[in-house]
Structure 1
Amino acid sequence: METPRRTLVKAVLWNVMGLTVMSLVGLAMTGSAAVGGAMAVINTLIGLTMYVLYERIWARVNWGRLHG
């Protein structure tokens, strides 16, 4: 079973990568670093929250695990 701390560290690292990519995409799509950055930050906050919840729910599901 995965600890909540491990889940959080994984989520933060994943979202830092996503924030970087989304900032570049936002900049390319809008031509504005401020607008692109704001879009990326909002996306990252939503994504981080959803990822942590998703991982914690799956941590409680025993289906598909090998025991032994």
Structure 2
Amino acid sequence: MIADQLVLDKKTTKTTYAEDKKSEKPIRSIAKAFSWRIIGTLDTLVISYILTGKISIAASIASIDFVTKMILYFFHERLWNLIKWGK
């Protein structure tokens, strides 16, 4: 079954979003990155507070983490969207 999908993916060339309904628009990746980062940042905030005992340091760590990880997630998501495997 997986081999069939791999073979079929090679036979069909999809060049645009309109042709490939399985792709996600970049705005969806941004929304997913943002919502996931809220969860991840709360986790980082709690862990940082437990380790440091200071909310100001924990908030600083969580703030930097929020921005950098959201950017990394967005590009990670876009790269995975280019891979046909599993679609």
Alignment partner of 2:84: what SS? coil
Alignment root-mean-square deviation, CA: 0.9
Unaligned runs of 5+ in 2: 1-22
Aligned equivalent of 1:10: 32
Aligned equivalent of 1:35: 57
Aligned equivalent of 1:20: 42
Higher helix share: 1
Q: TM-score, normalised by structure 1?
A: 0.87
Larger Rg: 2
Q: TM-score, normalised by structure 2?
A: 0.70
Deviating beyond 2 angstroms after TM superposition, the runs of 4 or more aligned structure 1 residues are none
Provide the identity percentage: 26
Count residues with an aligned counterpart: 65
